[in-house]
Amino acid sequence: MISTNPLMIYSTLSRRKEVFKPVHEGRVGMYVCGVTVYDYCHIGHGRTFVAFDVIRRWLEARGYQVTFVRNVTDVDDKIIRRAAERGISTLELTREFTAAMQQDMASLGCLPPTYEPHATDFIPQMLNLIRTLQDKGLAYVGSDGDVDFAVRRFPGYGKLSGKSLDDLQAGARIGIGQGKRDPLDFVLWKKAKPGEPHWTSPWGEGRPGWHIECSAMSCHYLGKTFDIHGGGPDLIFPHHENEIAQSEGANGVRFANYWMHSGPLRVRAADGTEQKMSKSLHNFWTIRDALSETDGKFGAGNGAEVLRFFLLRTHYRSPISFNTGLIVDAHKALTRLYEALDGAKGDGLPLDWEEKHAAAFARAMDDDFNTPVAIAQLFDLATEVNRSKDPALVRQLKGLGGVLNILQRDPAAFLKGAVKGLDEEEINRLIKERSDCKKSRNFARADEIRAQCLAQGIVLLDTPQGTTWRRS
């Protein structure tokens, strides 16, 4: 058994850690809001999805059967505008960026979702939900033809975000041409505009509002009440607040039992302040650009693991400051772990969860998925492996890394990393020349070759099996 500890999860709704009790014994229903596919994903998206990937992996490691749903928003004002700018259909645009998003998540080591529903495939379910809300007096047709949700008719609105109706009222206004009865109300169904994608509904041609899609899709796959609903911090209000109002208003039962949100990823602005990374602020770094940059620094294929490791070194609820110095530091730390595994024996053995480091790792993960504390156990193990080369400890180090989906590459390949100025063929030629020089007792030239390699970031390692190399 992995752990007899209670699994504690911090819920945004209760603002405290709670003992996890699934709706159905042995099974977990988990819904994480995906992206609006009009552009490439940035590192802030990666932070959220890596966090929930690890949460899912730990739940599965604990023996739960996890149904993981991550939606794709493929109809939206931004999508319509971007498609028009590029002179292509919204379908062509969303197919392109959905495929890109899936590639980016796979690059960062995230498992594919159990289900990945697209909003436009669930229009009938959304219409049924809106009709139910209208029948219950929670929705109405505004003067502009949109169908809006009547916020004041839903008791408890604001319980997730902690916002009161008075606070919301103070900052709200109705724009010119809007047909809402109250500035706090939000749209469920938008009346079609010329040239926009649209569907037939009881209220005329139109398209869904943003919030209604997640209520419909989560209910379809996970039921009216499910275990975990997650997403980025910017979704707490209004998106998740509105999901609760719609879902509980229509179904009359609790929507999700645990609300989980990742912390923001921040970048330094020109004025020295830190800002949330977002497309609206034009301060984002796409996952693709980040992978290209890190692969260039640390070696082809290494960059993705370095980025994942960087994200996991901070607790999922805490803010992360993103800068290249911290990425370099993450690479150095990950290198220490791979150095401990390099040449060591221990593959193919099962994890021993009663071993002290594994037990401490499990306690950390059971405490609201505390990856920084769990990772500390990996470094303790690496120290012991370096000292003893005990195959049982090697097994523990690689196996616990595997729970987080790190340390699964060939150590020698990782440690070779990026080669600046020398390709692998040239390095191997120099290694052979150096070997020949040592055999002919030309030690001066042999030392010269070692120094030449070191000057270009290549460390030569003499072992009983021969000379290998890695990036310094």
- Binding-site positions for ATP read 279
Q: Are strands 226-231 and 206-208 parallel, antiparallel or unpaired?
A: unpaired
- Give, in order, the Cα–Cα distances in Å from 41 to each of 11, 254, 291, 316: 26, 32, 12, 18
C-alpha 386, offset from chain centre: 32
Positions at the binding site for Zn(2+):
33, 214, 239, 243
Is 106 within 8 Å of 112 (Cβ atoms)?
A: yes
The C-alpha R_g of the chain, in whole angstroms, comes to 26
Positions at the binding site:
33, 214, 239, 243, 279
* Residues 307, 67: Cα–Cα separation, whole Å: 26
* Residues 364, 439: Cα–Cα separation, whole Å: 53
User: What are the b/e assignments for 419-435, b being 16+ CB within 10 Å?
Assistant: beebeeeebeebbeebe
Q: Which amino acid is at 125?
A: Q
* Residues 179, 208: Cα–Cα separation, whole Å: 16
Q: Are strands 226-231 and 27-32 parallel, antiparallel or unpaired?
A: parallel
Helix (H, G, I), strand (E, B) or coil at 52: helix
* Residues 304, 294: Cα–Cα separation, whole Å: 7
Is 404 within 8 Å of 371 (Cβ atoms)?
A: yes
Residue reference for tokens 């021993």: 352
